[in-house]
Amino acid sequence: MATAMFIAIIILAMSLLVYSAGSRYQTLRREPTREIVQTITDDFKRVLTLALRKNLTEPVDYKTTLTDWVKNLTCYYSGWGLQLKLINLPRFTNNTSLDRFDVEVDSTLGINITSIGFYGYEYPAQVNLSVTLTDATVNLDENTVEVNLTAFNENGPASDLEIEYLNITIEYIREIECIYSDHVIVSGNSITISIPKANFTILHVVTNGTAVSGINVTSAEKIVSSYSLTGNPRVETRYWSDPSVSTVTIDFSQPCEGMVWIFEFENVNVTDPIGSWSSESGNGTDASVDIMTKYNNSLIISVIGAFSDKAGFKIHGCDWDSYKDIGKYILASGINHRDAPLNGSYSFTWSFKNKQANWTAMAVEVRAKQVEVNVSLPPSNLTIYYVSGSGEYMISGSLGLEIPDGAIIESCVVRIGFVDGRGIGGVVEKEVELSG
Amino acid sequence: MRFLKARKGIMRVVEALFSAVIILMAVIVSSQIVVFPNPFTSRTRTDLEKLGYNLMFRLAQEGSLERLILEGGDDWENDACILFGTLLPVGVYFNLAVYYVNSVYMVNESSSILIYNVALQPLNDQPITNAENQDVFRKGGDVVSIEYVYTMEINGKIKTLLFVLQLTRGER
């Protein structure tokens, strides 16, 4: 009987133990600590990302932004006894250069949740995006562009990069083309010359010392400037850019003898046609003038006037020359053209073959027309490959560019605009050598 | 003496019967006491919390919360209702409220001390819920409340929104 009672008590005790365990399981509440902490840390990283993104367009006070955020969350979760502290204040670094976009912000957040005994948690957050334009090729024969990019964020290779556009700027220079050249002999105090219409006209007037008093073109105000050298002989160079001019009348201060050289060009930089100029004068058996050009791919025109009393006087070393007898004197003039592919010093020399002469020479740098072509390809016109797991993007597209024959390419810049899945974006660019 | 010995044997039988009855009663009582907890009722709260947080984490990770608010237009509450109604399992009722955490500095007139005050302003004009009436939250089973903060850029300013998602099961 006693044994039975003992067994019964054991059974009941075990039952109560099982019951209490089950009922405790039912009543104990599991606090979602992990979820709350993750909510806070996720939002902390989001604030850093937003601040970094915003900072790319306007300055952001990181400290104020995050301090306000901490205050908001602390107040909201005050029922939990949440304590937030910025252990490391946000630090923004920007190592961006032309072909590299590299921005980063990092900070550390300390979290205590006193109501559930959660203390001393530190969450170091870092937001980073680094995009490098590693290689770019522009092929003008095939009219294609190929670009390689690498993109990394704080977690490793970034696979969420969106290419917003691919832009190519090509600067080239049109070769200056002489479309008309002539010369006329002057005798009197005025001369009228008919010329074909052209974008740029340059006149060289060589006289026996008489100055040009005016040039009456259809639009006289288009005469940009004039260069002249006094003396005997006298050389003046005048130019204008007005395609409507078809007749020019040159008036002299007094009746004179001389000649006028007329040259008309296409593909001249009409907004700023003259780079530099220089002049020399002297007496002797030879002549020279030096010029220091300012720009690449210019054209230099030089003119010389010489006055001599020697029979059979000739200027040697000219592309074109002209002579006029004035009594016992000879007024001679010559013209030279020369391409100047690089800016630097250039010389023109003439020889009178041991015959003495007074001479005056001038050299003028005429600038070539610079053309800028800009092509922007939207993502829909690009083929974009992402090499999985490597952070490497291979982008290619068709340009549809038309560069005229004879154009001299000065520069070609490839630009890529991008943005990642978090909205952090920028531009990288690289100057490339053209192939083809 | 022989008679007495025979009576003692009967008592042993009676004693055994009592013992058997006592043990049987103990087993019956213990089987009544030990009722294994109903998994539905015991795990509902935890499961709902996990479900709610997982849903919010997922929507935040995919940027859906941001798109919902910024690109949803005037009728974003309806879009939110469809979104949550689609993603939550059948039989789970939800009630979503979005608050704008507005922080202002106020001056205490008596002490002239600057007080930092946080006020919650509701962002949704209409209720975002799939429950036909709110009785399901009052009379139903466990109700869990998921509080999720989400910071986004609204009109060029960095703002913190508070999503309060209440979940409950309709039936036991």
Closest CA to A428 of A83, A141, A55, A163: A163
Residue A238 in domain:
yes
A38, A42, A77, A160: best mutation site toward chain B, by most B Cβ within 10 Å?
A: A42
Minimal Cα–Cα distance from B27 to chain A, Å? 7
Closest CA to A361 of A297, A329, A315: A315
Q: What is the pLDDT of residue A151?
A: 95
Higher-pLDDT residue of B170 and A136 is A136
B46 and chain A: CB distance < 8 Å anywhere? yes
Residue A340 in domain:
yes
Token output for B40:
């539905």
pLDDT above 70 covers a percentage of chain B that reads 85
Closest CA to A330 of A350, A351, A352, A303: A352
Closest CA to A232 of A257, A211, A208, A205: A208
A43·B151 Cβ contact <8 A = yes
Question: What 3-state class would DSSP assign to B87?
Answer: helix
Question: Could you report the per-residue pLDDT of A6-15, keeping only the tens digit for each?
Answer: 887 888 888 8
B103 and chain A: CB distance < 8 Å anywhere? yes
List the single residue in B30, B53, B118 with the smallest CB-CB distance to A11: B30
Question: How many inter-chain contacts (A to B, CB under 8 Å) are there?
Answer: 111
Question: What 3-state class would DSSP assign to B76?
Answer: helix
- Amino acid at residue number A38: Q
Q: What is the pLDDT of residue B172?
A: 45
Number of domains chain A is built from: 1
List the single residue in B20, B34, B151 with the smallest CB-CB distance to A69: B151
A4·B23 Cβ contact <8 A = yes
Q: What is the pLDDT of residue B84?
A: 92
* DSSP code, position A316: B
Minimal Cα–Cα distance from B2 to chain A, Å? 25
Which positions 65-94 of B are in contact with A (Cβ < 8 Å)? Answer: none
B100 and chain A: CB distance < 8 Å anywhere? no
Q: Examine the pLDDT at B100 and tell me if it is beyond 90.
A: no
Minimal Cα–Cα distance from B132 to chain A, Å? 29
Minimal Cα–Cα distance from B167 to chain A, Å? 15
Residue A151 in domain:
no
B133-153 as b/e: b if 16+ CB within 10 A: eeebbeeebbbbebbbbbbbb
B34 and chain A: CB distance < 8 Å anywhere? yes
* Distances in whole angstroms, Cα of residue B22 to Cα of each of A7, A121, A163, A203, B82: 9, 57, 83, 135, 61
Residue A97 in domain:
no
B30, B121, B162: best mutation site toward chain A, by most A Cβ within 10 Å?
A: B30
A4·B22 Cβ contact <8 A = yes
The end-to-end CA distance of chain A, in Å, is: 110
Residue A29 burial by CB count (10 A; 0-12/13-18/19+): exposed, middle or buried?
Answer: exposed
Question: Could you report the per-residue pLDDT of B41-82, keeping only the tens digit for each?
Answer: 556 778 888 899 999 999 998 889 988 888 878 889 999 999
Query: Which stretches of chain A score pLDDT less than 70?
Result: 22-30, 216-231, 436
A51·B158 Cβ contact <8 A = yes
Q: What is the pLDDT of residue A220?
A: 46
List the single residue in A26, A29, A72 with the smallest CB-CB distance to B103: A72
What is d(CA B120, CA A73) in angstroms, rounded to the nearest whole number? 12
B149·A50 Cβ contact <8 A = no
A73·B160 Cβ contact <8 A = yes
Residue A375 in domain:
no
List the single residue in B34, B116, B151 with the smallest CB-CB distance to A15: B34
Minimal Cα–Cα distance from B97 to chain A, Å? 15
Residue A272 in domain:
yes
B147 in Cβ contact with B164 (< 8 Å): yes
Q: What is the pLDDT of residue A221?
A: 45
Q: Could you list the residue range(s) of the whole structural domain that residue A187 is in?
A: 177-368
Residue A302 in domain:
yes
Q: What is the pLDDT of residue B149?
A: 92
Residue A328 in domain:
yes
Alpha helices in chain B (DSSP H): 2-33, 39-61, 64-71, 76-87, 135-139
Q: Examine the pLDDT at B37 and tell me if it is beyond 60.
A: no
What length is written for chain B? 172
B45 and chain A: CB distance < 8 Å anywhere? yes
**Which residues of chain A make contact with B34, given a CB cutoff of 8 A?**
15, 18-19, 22
A41, A75, A113, A422: best mutation site toward chain B, by most B Cβ within 10 Å?
A: A75
Nearest chain A residue to B25, by CA:
A8
Q: What is the pLDDT of residue B156?
A: 83
Q: What is the pLDDT of residue A158?
A: 93
B53·A35 Cβ contact <8 A = yes
Q: What is the pLDDT of residue B103?
A: 66
Q: What is the pLDDT of residue A231?
A: 66
What is d(CA A422, CA A101) in angstroms, rounded to the nearest whole number? 15
pTM of the model: 0.70
List the single residue in B25, B53, B63 with the smallest CB-CB distance to A32: B53
Question: Could you report the per-residue pLDDT of B118-157, keeping only the tens digit for each?
Answer: 678 888 888 899 988 888 888 767 888 999 999 998 888 8
Quickly tell me which residue has 């050289």 as its tokens.
Answer: A261
Closest CA to A372 of A168, A139, A199, A142: A168
Using omega within 30 degrees of 0 as the cis cutoff, is the peptide bond preceding B122 cis? no
- ipTM, 2 decimals? 0.74
Across A267-401, the runs of DSSP E, i.e. the strands, are 274-284, 286-292, 298-308, 320-326, 329-340, 345-351, 357-366, 370-377, 382-387, 392-398
**Which residues of chain A make contact with B30, given a CB cutoff of 8 A?**
11-12, 14-15
